[in-house]
């Protein structure tokens, strides 16, 4: 069963990585286009080679239209896409000054409580994203430049948030079982090194 959730989490992490890579390339190209446009429109270039500058500018050299909108939507998805793997591997930041002095039983109980809280929060986030998506869909709002429906970004983020919620529920259940039985149910390498 753990294998299924591991594959699900890794799938979303890969998708988040691909989206993040595309956003990085998009941002670099937009910055490059904006810089070239600024140079080609400068007084020096316009006075030295106005025809050449105009010809290149006519090719559409400039910032990518709607780049901020795409980055905003893509980053939201990427963040939610990385959450399932982070949750599965216990890779959240932790300060264990206090817990290192506790018994293993107390640590198992504390870990179970934390996982249940995480699961509740991620389920709440997914529910609120769904409500937000419905609201944006019903209002018909679109982005300013590209004019794509805003609810699309919510929908993509919702898919990843639901995956994060499912993984977190699984982790919470497994941690509760570990705490109740004293048995180790999850692979032991699921702790982040801090």
Q: Mind listing the pLDDT tens digit for each residue in 99-149?
A: 888 898 998 999 999 999 999 999 999 999 999 999 999 999 999 999 999
Tokens of 125: 């986030």
pLDDT at residue number 194: 43
Global confidence as pTM: 0.87
In the DSSP assignment, the letter for residue 31 is: H
Range list of H helices, 49-103: 50-58, 67-88
Residue 119 to residue 114: CA distance in whole angstroms: 9
pLDDT at residue number 38: 96
Does pLDDT of 34 surpass 90?
A: yes
Residue 105 to residue 126: CA distance in whole angstroms: 32
Does pLDDT of 11 surpass 80?
A: yes
Residue 120 to residue 135: CA distance in whole angstroms: 22
Lowest mean pLDDT among 23-37, 98-112, 170-184: 98-112
Residue 113 to residue 57: CA distance in whole angstroms: 59
Are 111 and 185 within 8 A, CB to CB? no
Note the maximum CA span of the chain: 80
Tokens of 41: 């429109």
């Amino acid at each position: 069963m753990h294998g299924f959730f591991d594959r699900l989490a890794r799938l979303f992490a890969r998708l988040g990585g691909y989206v993040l890579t595309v956003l990085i390339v998009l941002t670099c190209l937009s910055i490059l286009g904006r810089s070239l446009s600024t140079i080609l429109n400068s007084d020096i270039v316009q006075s030295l080679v106005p025809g050449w500058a105009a010809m290149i500018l006519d090719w559409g050299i400039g910032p990518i239209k709607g780049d901020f909108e795409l980055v905003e939507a893509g980053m939201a998805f990427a963040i939610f896409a990385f959450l399932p793997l982070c949750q599965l591997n216990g890779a959240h930041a932790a300060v264990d000054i206090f817990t290192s002095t506790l018994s293993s039983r107390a640590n198992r109980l504390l870990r179970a409580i934390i996982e249940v809280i995480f699961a509740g929060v991620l389920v709440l986030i997914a529910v609120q994203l769904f409500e937000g998506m419905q609201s944006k869909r019903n209002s018909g709002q679109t982005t300013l430049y590209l004019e794509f429906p805003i609810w699309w970004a919510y929908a993509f983020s919702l898919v990843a948030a639901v995956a994060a919620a499912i993984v977190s529920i699984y982790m919470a259940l497994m941690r509760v079982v570990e705490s109740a039985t004293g048995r180790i149910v999850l692979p032991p390498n699921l702790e982040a090194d801090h």
